[in-house]
Structure 1
């Protein structure tokens, strides 16, 4: 009998669990998560899955919507793979027993969101799509996959550019070392490095920092998408108000009723997210409140139960017909550079979901393409891994325990870091602010962290070092891109360097340079 290979998946969102479900009969699968398996961005997803299932729709339209939203910065082959594979993975999901919302005749209840030409958003449970998907997958893998909660991955074990395993740490600061034939990063993005975010508080770019130190190439970290409509009331953020609400006709207005998107973009309130977010931000900076007028949506509470619950938490009545909103960090288009199968530049190391950058989203993600990406690319990686047999894991020496007497660098609190990122590296950036943020981050000497010191830091220190590393990558990338494109807006370079960027594919710049800048991660 041939012994099964072991695959370690770091993360517990849609991409992670889809992969685990795909390969669980073929491989020994271990899922590592830093908190609970129910703490992820995926479980919070309201919007749904963008996919061509309507006979009046087609993949060419979905492709063009994705390219236009991404400012022609997308990898065209990645987009083709996404939109063409979408109907296939949706059918496979339904064949396993997953149910999407349908009317009494069995027709899909499709939603419309920003920058989409037509309705193509599949939902489950109204605005509870992410939760329904995650409950479904957790139920499928339970008992078939080893799930290790409260096991934070703090370092990847790499020898001769081959990833051989991972070191974890728990809340008691106890370390464990795991070796495997394949290591998959599925840790999500980094939205929680900002004060106002739709992300789970645990999502602070850990996978990006791990891959960076392991020598993997990191790209496009300047492209951080801010969702236009977070429910914000009296200085507190309560959560995301799905773009599907605007898809049903809701309008962004000032307190006096003025519609803020008139004359800004032909698609008005359903313009691409970066445009809507910047317009709301402009008014917020002036001290003006922006509201989402939902008065025209019949049966709002039934259509959007999750958002209704958020409103109740904020003591806001949906009967009043308006919800106070402000932009918040939502999605990272950059991340660990991969090919279309999820392979990184380090052998044996893979990345899927938001932590990965396969080029599919370009400079700005199209609404509801994130869950689709998680489904499509985890299935592709699953096919690749199932075809792999007997990848040898040769470890020349056990992971070093380091010098316990090493001097630890002083580290800031999470809130201090979030305040700096929000103030200086937010929706609008400029060289002066970015240089200040870079200098502030670098004064904590986080780059002294090496594999030899892994066991000398506490779990909290590991988390802070990862946080600083990810923020430094964002800031450094934002400084390098001296133009405004998609989700990256420089007030000192308010237009693209390429005046014709909407009509031709842009070769990616600022690529694969970060490691060379300091030598960190080599």
Structure 2
């Protein structure tokens, strides 16, 4: 058992921004399921959006964010984050030389889809996440204790006060450990690994969302999954992300014979909103036609995009031919643990920041390069709030000891099958019949009733994947319209009258646990 002032689950940009800005007299512990540098934030090629250009203004950035989010956004969240963006970027740029600059020494600004101005700040060409993350990692103070390869799996609650006071976790040895803190923060990222095609790190399985759901926290907007239009696609497999900045620099989407596919589809053509571009590419792939990014118009491609060049070369793509085969894949979840603008969840003492949270910034579809911005903003805001609180009174269970528990292998479905079914039935194009099939398939495993104390860490991740997949599927079934990242072929249009800002909120009814014995096996079909 360990006692800390702040326990942070996850090690992405939101988590490290928070940890680095907390007062040094606070004891801070970071728990991460894998390694610190195996996160979506570290992999992020695209940049950070901020209205700092001569012709730009935060009001324009706000409009672009609302338009991309199909006006499902929380406008207060949009205005606060976007207004704070320029100062966040300038302050960060003053701390080190990790952003790209032009010949005048000014921050180089790129263009990405659905933006009306060049406002994307990059680092290392297409290694923005890595550059910023290395800076944050190297600037962690001595009061921050990082524990890698630790799987957090159950929040510890004081049920009388509806307050979260800690978290259970397991290391590689499988032993249960308890971490108590005055402030418990989930910053474990999204759920991209639920799909067979994804840009996400291997560890991003929806753990934090599922864990908060099982504790009774409100989960919102899970039907809105963003599929990035352009992942490198070879022999039926996706091999890595091809940043939207490539299209921002002039690349266009074409068929094998060179026919542009976005002509007449959207006014912004290849730089249209991600859900529009993804759906268009998906239509061609379903009809057996490969889609390529034509990069022949981009001068010195390898210098501008060194990381993408390396990915392509590693997979045998000859960039001199000017074409990169692409396919869409899951990239970002707009929903998550429902929070206010500070990061407070519906459970006292439990906070969520980064992609695992939902304060309404992104609405139904995230505007490109607003995600790293959100993490920086949320980490900063929550640090200021916690710093003002000072050291809280630590609560712990009366009996904090725990007996050794034998771990048992539970019968779970083949996760690759689940990912394939999610892609087919709850992916880019959805309909009632397929969603009901998937609900039935997921429901048979009763994943929310399994005793996680007796499960191996690898099985815990699979269980969380099943729970999060169920939340997405159920939400997608309930929303009978198409909006942003949620497209229903049987309800292909937006329904502003019924659905414009109506959110679907899920809350686990814990009495289910009290009325049923824990199920230690799940029946696979």
Matched, 1:286 2:284: no
Q: Which residue of 2 aligns with 1:394?
A: 395
Matched, 1:507 2:501: yes
CA deviation string 1:91-131 (max 9, x = no partner):
22123224311112112211000000010000111001001
- Distance of aligned partners of 1:233 and 1:407 in 2 relative to their CA distance in 1, 3 Å threshold: closer
Deviation at 1:513, TM superposition (A): 4.0
Deviation at 1:521, TM superposition (A): 11
Q: Which residue of 1 aligns with 2:494?
A: 496
- Distance of aligned partners of 1:258 and 1:176 in 2 relative to their CA distance in 1, 3 Å threshold: same
Helix, strand or coil for the counterpart of 2:480? coil
- Distance of aligned partners of 1:144 and 1:96 in 2 relative to their CA distance in 1, 3 Å threshold: farther
**Inter-partner Cα distance in structure 1 for 2:464 and 2:119:** 37
Q: Which residue of 1 aligns with 2:482?
A: 484
Matches within 5 A, 1:296-311: 296-311=297-312
CA contact (8 A) 2:4 2:180 kept: no
What stretches of structure 2 of length at least 5 have no aligned partner?
516-525
Q: Which residue of 2 aligns with 1:163?
A: 164
Matches within 5 A, 1:189-200: 189-200=190-201
Deviation at 1:84, TM superposition (A): 0.5
Q: Which residue of 2 aligns with 1:423?
A: 424
CA deviation string 1:440-483 (max 9, x = no partner):
1111121213xxx3422221221111111111111111111011
Deviation at 1:514, TM superposition (A): 4.3
Normalised TM-score (structure 2): 0.94
Q: Which residue of 1 aligns with 2:520?
A: none
Matches within 5 A, 1:168-187: 168-187=169-188
Deviation at 1:25, TM superposition (A): 1.6
Deviation at 1:234, TM superposition (A): 1.5
- Distance of aligned partners of 1:26 and 1:73 in 2 relative to their CA distance in 1, 3 Å threshold: farther
- Distance of aligned partners of 1:455 and 1:283 in 2 relative to their CA distance in 1, 3 Å threshold: same
CA deviation string 1:5-37 (max 9, x = no partner):
610110011001011101052411111000101
Deviation at 1:73, TM superposition (A): 0.3
Helix, strand or coil for the counterpart of 1:155? strand
Matches within 5 A, 1:248-397: 248-397=249-398
Matches within 5 A, 1:3-82: 6-82=5-81
**Inter-partner Cα distance in structure 2 for 1:55 and 1:519:** 57
CA deviation string 1:208-234 (max 9, x = no partner):
011001111000000000000000111
Bigger drift between 278-287 and 457-466 goes to 457-466
CA contact (8 A) 2:193 2:204 kept: yes
CA contact (8 A) 1:409 1:444 kept: no
Helix, strand or coil for the counterpart of 1:426? coil
Deviation at 1:265, TM superposition (A): 0.4
Deviation at 1:391, TM superposition (A): 2.4
Q: Which residue of 2 aligns with 1:463?
A: 461
Q: Which residue of 2 aligns with 1:110?
A: 109
- Distance of aligned partners of 1:142 and 1:321 in 2 relative to their CA distance in 1, 3 Å threshold: farther
Q: Which residue of 2 aligns with 1:436?
A: 437
Deviation at 1:396, TM superposition (A): 4.0
Matched, 1:94 2:93: yes
**Inter-partner Cα distance in structure 2 for 1:165 and 1:23:** 19
Deviation at 1:174, TM superposition (A): 1.3
CA contact (8 A) 2:214 2:448 kept: no
**Inter-partner Cα distance in structure 2 for 1:37 and 1:513:** 30
**Inter-partner Cα distance in structure 1 for 2:145 and 2:237:** 38
Deviation at 1:515, TM superposition (A): 3.1
Q: Work out which of the residue numbers 465, 473, 480 in structure 2 matches 1:475.
A: 473
Helix, strand or coil for the counterpart of 1:180? strand
Q: Which residue of 2 aligns with 1:119?
A: 118
Deviation at 1:144, TM superposition (A): 4.5
CA contact (8 A) 1:238 1:313 kept: no
CA contact (8 A) 1:409 1:445 kept: no
CA contact (8 A) 2:215 2:508 kept: no
- How many residues align? The count is 511
**Inter-partner Cα distance in structure 2 for 1:19 and 1:26:** 14
CA contact (8 A) 1:154 1:462 kept: yes
- Distance of aligned partners of 1:326 and 1:520 in 2 relative to their CA distance in 1, 3 Å threshold: farther
**Inter-partner Cα distance in structure 1 for 2:71 and 2:378:** 21
CA contact (8 A) 1:223 1:487 kept: yes
CA contact (8 A) 1:213 1:521 kept: no
CA contact (8 A) 2:338 2:346 kept: yes
**Inter-partner Cα distance in structure 1 for 2:57 and 2:14:** 25
Helix, strand or coil for the counterpart of 1:515? coil
Deviation at 1:392, TM superposition (A): 2.1
- Distance of aligned partners of 1:406 and 1:292 in 2 relative to their CA distance in 1, 3 Å threshold: closer
- Distance of aligned partners of 1:5 and 1:411 in 2 relative to their CA distance in 1, 3 Å threshold: closer
CA contact (8 A) 1:413 1:464 kept: no
CA deviation string 1:259-314 (max 9, x = no partner):
00001000000000000000000000000000000000000000000100011011
What stretches of structure 1 of length at least 5 have no aligned partner?
none
Normalised TM-score (structure 1): 0.94
- Distance of aligned partners of 1:406 and 1:142 in 2 relative to their CA distance in 1, 3 Å threshold: closer
Q: Which residue of 1 aligns with 2:209?
A: 208
CA contact (8 A) 1:157 1:399 kept: no
